[in-house]
Amino acid sequence: MERIKCTISYDGTNFSGYQMQQKDRTVQFEIERALRKIHKDDIRTHASGRTDARVHAYGQVFHFDSPLAIPALGWVAALNSALPEDIAVRRVEKVHSHFHARYDVVSKEYRYKVLLNGRDNVFARNYMYRYPYRIDVSTMEAAAKHFLGTHDFTSFCSAKSDKENKVRTIHEIEIQQNGDELLFRFVGNGFLYNMVRIMVGTLLDVGQGRRAPADIPAILEKRDRRYASKTAPGHGLYLWQVNYNN
Amino acid sequence: MERIKCTISYDGTNFSGYQMQQKDRTVQFEIERALRKIHKDDIRTHASGRTDARVHAYGQVFHFDSPLAIPALGWVAALNSALPEDIAVRRVEKVHSHFHARYDVVSKEYRYKVLLNGRDNVFARNYMYRYPYRIDVSTMEAAAKHFLGTHDFTSFCSAKSDKENKVRTIHEIEIQQNGDELLFRFVGNGFLYNMVRIMVGTLLDVGQGRRAPADIPAILEKRDRRYASKTAPGHGLYLWQVNYNN
């Protein structure tokens, strides 16, 4: 048996999220179907975490165990030819048998893309959140600073979450404006359900002047989802990179 | 009756082309369906020309006559709310009753996008042609110069075309490389069936060193499709702009 670590991109547009469900098309279902084609047998996969419907990944990671002795580049080719075109394997590595794609995560990077334009853009509609309001990036940056470090993020987590511990550490937040495109980068040790999208929704409210940067510590303090702004839509979000030791 | 000129974008991915067909989903069908919803009656539209399956438009133009007295911005809103999300109306103008979206075209601009990268890119797969070979832009520019001006483009036209006159004038060709993205711009008084895609296919062969710039005049001279290179795929092509007098 060899343990295989796989880094994949997917276009979330036509998926009901990463994780297997009864009825809908999911990324995990397509991956396990491709592995079944290759192995003529069921192969269980373990991902770094789920992503929601319409959320994209540039660098999702999963692992599986295989009895087949295929070199890493052979795996890339075999998987890409068995997968549908909205999932692509970027990299395959052979790892120790105790590596785990979920439990060994050290940090993750998410990105969120916003289009600051009132005009309908048919090409960006599935890949960026259209937000046609004037925003001030420096005010958003001042607000974002309050998220850095270790906090209880209950106010920035979907009330549907079943995680007990809502304390997470954010290492880095960057906000870049490039013409009418706005890019958010978040790096942290872990993110709760909808956490990035609720932070983005709240930061956009700050950028538009509907909330002040100093509101962020007060919202965190409340530990109540109802105090933060609304969840930004899934199609602007990208699971960009998952980091492990080594 | 008012004659309405409409400028639209569409994402060609899920269309079998612009023009109405028996079975498949087309842009024209969706537009006429939206107009029928608004008028409760059949409304005939006339576009600047067709586009093929999977070809995109940033600025396709069509016209129609309407008995409704709706201001231009009202038309934009009404049409966008009646159209599916892969078609967007960018602009509506009221024009003279003798304006014709097809017969009055003065020139058109097409763009073609290439991704010079061997790695699967799930986000570009429907919007750029992936061409993972080393290319030389200056050689392609030297070749492109031979297309400028007035020529018989029979060799660069699908053999399926039923147009008698294959003489067209190309005013401008520009090739820009930006990292691993390659953008072609073509401006001309008109383009034959598949003409841009066959020119791009041939220019890429030149850029890769499989043909020389001096081959272009010889291929034009032959007036035979078989001498040019293969047609580049539709999903890299964009009908960018249609120009009229005034």
Residues B96 and B3: beta-carbon distance below 8 Å: yes
Share of chain B above pLDDT 70, in %: 100
What is the rounded distance in angstroms from the CA atom of residue B171 to the CA atom of residue B145? 10
Q: Does B85 touch chain A (CB under 8 A)?
A: yes
Minimal CA separation from B10 to chain A, in Å? 6
pLDDT at B75: 97
Minimal CA separation from B12 to chain A, in Å? 10
Residue B231 pLDDT grade (very low, low, confident, very high; cuts 50, 70, 90): very high
Task: Identify the active-site residue in B41, B42, B52, B162.
Answer: B52
Strands A237-243, A56-66: pairing is: parallel
CATH number assigned to the domain with residue range B2-95, chosen from the 4 options 3.30.2350.10, 3.30.70.580, 1.10.1370.20, 3.40.980.10: 3.30.70.580
Task: Identify the active-site residue in A52, A104, A205, A215.
Answer: A52
- Taking contacts as CB-CB distances below 8 angstroms, the residues of chain A near B233 are none
Alpha helices in A71-224 (DSSP H): 72-82, 137-144, 195-207, 215-222
Please tell me the least confidently modeled range out of A88-92, A194-198, B22-26, B95-99: B22-26
pLDDT at A2: 96
Provide the chain A residues 36-75 that lie in CB contact (below 8 A) with chain B. 56
Please answer yes or no on whether A119 and B10 come within 8 Å at the CB atom.
no
Contacts of A99 (CB under 8 A, 6+ apart): A3, A5, A63, A244
Minimal CA separation from A120 to chain B, in Å? 6
Q: Does A147 touch chain B (CB under 8 A)?
A: no
Please answer yes or no on whether B125 and A11 come within 8 Å at the CB atom.
yes
* Average pLDDT, 10 consecutive residues per value, chain A (246 residues): 97 93 90 97 96 96 97 96 96 97 98 89 95 95 98 94 90 96 97 97 97 98 97 98 92
Q: Quick one: closest CA in A to B9, which residue?
A: A122
pLDDT at A21: 75
A85 closest CB neighbour out of B89, B125, B127: B125
pLDDT at B20: 77
- Taking contacts as CB-CB distances below 8 angstroms, the residues of chain A near B85 are 122, 125
Please answer yes or no on whether B90 and A120 come within 8 Å at the CB atom.
yes
pLDDT at A22: 75
Residue B246 has pLDDT above 80, yes or no: no
Residue B159 pLDDT grade (very low, low, confident, very high; cuts 50, 70, 90): confident
Q: Does B81 touch chain A (CB under 8 A)?
A: no
B16, with CB counted inside 10 A (0-12, 13-18, 19+), is middle
- Taking contacts as CB-CB distances below 8 angstroms, the residues of chain B near A121 are 9, 88
Please answer yes or no on whether A125 and B11 come within 8 Å at the CB atom.
yes
Q: Does B2-95 match B107-243 in CATH topology?
A: yes
B122 closest CB neighbour out of A87, A119, A123: A87
Share of chain B above pLDDT 90, in %: 92
Q: Any binding-site annotation on A110? A: yes
**Nearest by Cα to A240 from A114, A109, A113:** A109
Q: Does A162 touch chain B (CB under 8 A)?
A: no
ipTM passes above 0.90: no
CATH number assigned to the domain with residue range B107-243, chosen from the 4 options 3.40.50.740, 3.40.50.300, 3.30.70.660, 3.30.565.10: 3.30.70.660
Minimal CA separation from A77 to chain B, in Å? 11
pLDDT at A162: 79
pLDDT at B119: 73
Best residue of A122, A125, A130 to probe chain B, by most B CBs closer than 10 Å:
A122
What is the rounded distance in angstroms from the CA atom of residue A2 to the CA atom of residue B212? 49
Q: Quick one: closest CA in A to B120, which residue?
A: A88
Residue B211 has pLDDT above 90, yes or no: yes
- Taking contacts as CB-CB distances below 8 angstroms, the residues of chain B near A7 are none
Q: Quick one: closest CA in B to A122, which residue?
A: B86
Task: Tokens for A221, please give them.
Answer: 């303090």
Best residue of B92, B113, B120 to probe chain A, by most A CBs closer than 10 Å:
B120
* Other C-beta atoms lying within 10 Å of the C-beta of residue B70: 17
Q: State the number of CA atoms in the 13 A half-sphere of B137 facing the CB.
A: 14
Please answer yes or no on whether A120 and B88 come within 8 Å at the CB atom.
yes
- Look at the alpha carbons of B14, B17, B19, B20 in this order and tell me if their dihedral is positive or negative: negative
For chain A, what are the domain ranges? 2-95, 107-243
- Taking contacts as CB-CB distances below 8 angstroms, the residues of chain B near A9 are 120-123
What is the rounded distance in angstroms from the CA atom of residue B98 to the CA atom of residue B245? 13
Q: What is the DSSP string of B140-151?
A: HHHHHGGGSEEE
Q: Active site includes A52?
A: yes
- How many residue contacts between A and B have a Cβ separation below 8 Å? 46
